[in-house]
Amino acid sequence: MVDPRKRQTRKKQQSITSKATVSVEMWRFYLMWGVVLFCFIALVGRAFYVQIVNHDFLQNKANAKILRTDTVKAMRGVIYDRHGVPLAISTPIMKIVIDPRDYFDAKKLYDETSAELVKNPNDRKLKRQLPDKNLNLDELADAVGMDRAELRKKMNERPRSRYLILKKEVPPQQADLILEREFQAVYTEKYYKRYYPQPQPNAQIIGLTNSEGMGIEGLEMQLNSRLAGKDGEQQVIRDKRGNRVKDPEIIKEVESGENITLSIDSRLQYIMYRELTAAGVANNARSATAITVDVKTGEILAMASWPSYNPNDKKGLGNKDAMRNRGAVDSFEPGSTMKPITISMALESGKFTANSVINTTPGSMRVGNHTIRDTHNYGALTLGGIIQKSSNVGVAKIALSLPYSTLPTFYKRVGFGERSAVKFPGESAGLILPKNKWNVSEVATMAYGYGLNATVLQLADAYAMIANKGKKMPLSLYKLEEHPKGEQMIDPKIADQVLLMMEAVTLPGGTARQADIPGYRVAGKTGTAHKLRADRKGYSQSDYRALFAGMAPVSDPRLAMVVVVENPKGQYYGGLVAAPVFARVMQESLRLMNVPLDKPLDAPKIQ
């Protein structure tokens, strides 16, 4: 028999062993669930990190592989003349671009896959991995017109670049032919090239754009924000072979530039440039400039300078002198063309009338350290006679008979010494001397156009004011839908009196017989100004500036025009050099604008 005490001991041992087993199993159970819970939490945490915390970074990395954001260039606005003739337009043009990194990745894949196919020529999976685009750089170079070695050199110098321009200014049709050959990583970008249909006559007004389409000269620069528009953006999704997966998605709409209509009449502009060119060449001059203004509205109908340049030819932009809009930028001593302004001041003062007589004998006068001279001794002259004969002595005596401040103050009031309403880029304000310089010598010389600087714009503005019965219309380079109110600068009666005095300049006995136009009464004033020497020590005895400023028809003035010819050789008087240009341009301008004749046409001479 078994001892009951041993049986009891065995039961205790069995009981102890049983409890230990259960404890171990529970520990394993908890460990397993702990591991599972930890993994679950880790997965949830990772998912949270990926989906929420690091979402943007990873999304951007993914997009970088398949997405490309392309800029959609805005079309620059068109610049028109007043009749809707385009003077500056943008035409679509293409760039041929390659992605070197994409190309070399595809080339590497092709080489590795081709090597594997040599070992396993029947492996269809490998065949499907081969890039299906053209990887031949020599063919690509030939297609875009590049040297083969040069293309390879550029590609090898920038193997990780994403952007390499192969060729610019490719016509769309030619670009399409290149794309049809399916070169690897090659694509096109559309942009716009500026083109000027009437280049030389309008170049200095309109200006030009650079290779990026930004205005850098003239109105192209001044109006750049309005003309440029706003570029758009589109997203393109491509696979690893560079194939487009779906159509581009527009993410920012493109906004085309604003169209601008100028006051310029391209017909008158062409005529003016043609005549300035002819006069400049015939007189071997340095330059020739002219401006025509509609006196009723202040609109500038033509503004041209010779020599000019062709903004379509970017290789011919070396002559910066030819690129200046001289009518606005250059200021100079206007000489005798200021005399009608001085006479207007005299009449306004009340001290003089149209019948007042000034004794100019003996044809010269001493003022300070200077002697003022006329070309002849004209004796006693009325105010009209002073303008007709262009007497320096006469206007100097008038100016000095009034307080010294009267003349320069009047000049400033009518627009000299400040920029015109045009505000053209680089426009000069001219120069009226400060008050502390208004002494006897300066006032006397200012009376006949020396000792002050003016622009062609300012002269045209002043003559248009006189022609418009003393009412000044702000000059404008843009076509106006409504006539501006204007500002009455001088009494209409005074303006009419001065206008009739200037008509005598173009009649027998005047200094500008060659400004006469068949069928139209013409008023104006010549100017022949000595130019300052280069060292600014006195005036040159060989360099002149020939001017003529006038308006027509006198019975109801419609146009005012100023012509300036710099450094003519041979004959140099304004009546011989500038007046004929005025006559030819004004005659054709009045005809094209259907302005009625205001005097009988001369009967043809019988041979």
Query: Could you report the per-residue pLDDT of 333-357, keeping only the tens digit for each?
Result: 999 999 999 999 999 999 999 999 9
Query: Could you report the per-residue pLDDT of 430-467, keeping only the tens digit for each?
Result: 999 999 889 999 999 999 999 999 999 999 999 999 99
Please report the pLDDT score of residue 34 as a whole number: 82
Q: Looking at the domain assignment, is residue 411 inside a domain?
A: yes
Q: Looking at the domain assignment, is residue 598 inside a domain?
A: no
Tokens at residue 598, please? 């205001």
CATH number for 238: 3.90.1310.10
CA dist list (Å): 111 to 160, 184, 243: 18, 14, 19
Q: Looking at the domain assignment, is residue 62 inside a domain?
A: no
Write the burial class of residue 109 (CB in 10 Å: 0-12 exposed, 13-18 middle, 19+ buried). middle
Q: Looking at the domain assignment, is residue 37 inside a domain?
A: no
Task: Using alpha carbons, select from 238, 240, 236, 237 the residue that is nearest to residue 129.
Answer: 240
Residues 436 and 382 in one domain: yes
Supply the range of the domain harboring residue 149.
69-261
- CA atoms 38, 44, 47, 51: torsion sign: negative
Q: Of 261, 278, 294, which one is at a domain's C-terminal end?
A: 261
Instruction: With cut-offs at 50, 70 and 90, classify the pLDDT of residue 212.
Output: confident
Residues 335 and 293 in one domain: yes
Residues 189 and 228 in one domain: yes
Q: What are the phi and psi torsion angles at 87 (to 5°)? A: -110, -20
Average pLDDT, the chain: 88
Catalytic residues: 336
- CA atoms 208, 214, 216, 219: torsion sign: positive
Distance, in Å, from the CA atom of 27 to the CA atom of 491, rounded to the nearest integer, reads 115
Residues 270 and 243 in one domain: no
Residues 379 and 505 in one domain: yes
Distance, in Å, from the CA atom of 380 to the CA atom of 394, rounded to the nearest integer, reads 9
- In the predicted model, is pLDDT for residue 143 greater than 80? yes
* Cβ(224)–Cβ(215) below 8 Å: yes
Tokens at residue 572, please? 């140099």
Please report the pLDDT score of residue 315 as a whole number: 81
Tokens at residue 22, please? 């259960």
Residues 229 and 355 in one domain: no
* Residue position matching structure tokens 């044809």: 363
CA dihedral (264, 267, 271, 272) in degrees, to 10, reads 0
SS3 state of residue 296 = coil
* Residue position matching structure tokens 């800029």: 71
Query: Could you report the per-residue pLDDT of 495-539, keeping only the tens digit for each?
Result: 999 999 999 999 998 999 999 999 999 999 999 998 887 777 778
Q: Looking at the domain assignment, is residue 56 inside a domain?
A: no
Residues 165 and 296 in one domain: no
SS3 state of residue 22 = helix
Residues 331 and 253 in one domain: no
Tokens at residue 476, please? 């404008």
Task: Using alpha carbons, select from 130, 82, 519, 417 the residue that is nearest to residue 260.
Answer: 82
What angle do helix axes 266-282 and 574-592 make, rounded to 10 degrees?
160
SS3 state of residue 382 = strand
Instruction: With cut-offs at 50, 70 and 90, classify the pLDDT of residue 196.
Output: very high
- In the predicted model, is pLDDT for residue 329 greater than 70? yes
Please report the pLDDT score of residue 234 as a whole number: 74
Strand partners, 549: 525, 562
* Cβ(40)–Cβ(221) below 8 Å: no
Residues 257 and 360 in one domain: no
* Cβ(553)–Cβ(590) below 8 Å: yes
DSSP 202-263: HHHHH--B-TTS-B-SHHHHHTHHHHH-B-EEEEEEB-TTS-B-S--EEEE--BPPPPEEBS
CATH number for 403: 3.40.710.10
Write the burial class of residue 288 (CB in 10 Å: 0-12 exposed, 13-18 middle, 19+ buried). buried
Please report the pLDDT score of residue 26 as a whole number: 77
Residues 271 and 256 in one domain: no
Q: Looking at the domain assignment, is residue 55 inside a domain?
A: no
Residues 236 and 282 in one domain: no
Select the more confidently predicted residue: 245 or 411.
411
Please report the pLDDT score of residue 16 as a whole number: 47
Instruction: With cut-offs at 50, 70 and 90, classify the pLDDT of residue 4.
Output: low
Of 121-125, 141-145, 238-242, the range with the lowest mean pLDDT is 238-242
Instruction: With cut-offs at 50, 70 and 90, classify the pLDDT of residue 549.
Output: very high
Please report the pLDDT score of residue 61 as a whole number: 60
SS3 state of residue 371 = strand
What is the arithmetic mean of pLDDT over 2-22? 53
Q: What are the residue ranges of helices labelled H in 166-309? A: 172-180, 199-206, 218-222, 224-228, 266-282
Residues 273 and 203 in one domain: no
% pLDDT > 90, the chain: 64
* Cβ(313)–Cβ(343) below 8 Å: no
Q: Which residues of 187-226 are buried (b: 16+ CB within 10 A; e: fewer)?
A: bbbebbbbebebbbbbbbbbbbbeeebebebbbbbbbbee
Number of domains in the chain: 2
Residues in contact with 331: Cβ distance below 8 Å, sequence separation at least 6, in sequence order: 428, 429, 430, 431, 453, 454, 455
Q: Looking at the domain assignment, is residue 555 inside a domain?
A: yes
Residues in contact with 243: Cβ distance below 8 Å, sequence separation at least 6, in sequence order: none
What is the arithmetic mean of pLDDT over 312-318? 84
- In the predicted model, is pLDDT for residue 241 greater than 80? no
Please report the pLDDT score of residue 266 as a whole number: 97
Q: Looking at the domain assignment, is residue 36 inside a domain?
A: no
Letter for the amino acid at 568?
P
Please report the pLDDT score of residue 582 as a whole number: 97
